[in-house]
Amino acid sequence: MSEQPRRQEQARKAQGARGSRQQARAQAAAPALDVTPELINRAKRDVAKMSYVTPAKLASMLNVKLSVARKILKKLIADGSIEVRAKNRRIIVAVPKSSS
């Protein structure tokens, strides 16, 4: 009977190790949820190379959620880095200041 509790304990330890590895992978692949200064600087560099930018293009480029990409675009517009060409309640289309 002493063999069974030992096997159960080993199984629990193995399950815990697998769980932590899966959590680490999920955190590494998870998109960012908040706007950081580092993210804004990356966006400025990347937007300067583009002919136009939309929230969807920015979200896929920076690996962030669409809502975060919208917030970043609004901050870049407020900073004067980009200018709005078209906007409605669903989308923002902007271009870098240098190419306008």
What distance in Å separates the CA atoms of residue 7 and residue 22, rounded to the nearest whole number?
23
Within 10 angstroms of residue 22's Cβ, the number of other Cβ atoms is 10
Count other C-beta atoms under 10 Å from residue 75's C-beta. Answer: 17
pLDDT tens for each residue of 47-99: 999 999 999 999 999 999 999 999 999 999 999 999 999 999 999 999 998 65
Q: Model pTM?
A: 0.66
pLDDT tens digits for 43-60?
A: 999 999 999 999 999 999
d(CA 47, CA 74): 13
Identify the helix (H) or strand (E) that includes residue 20. helix 3-29
Contact 92, 55 (CB under 8 A): yes
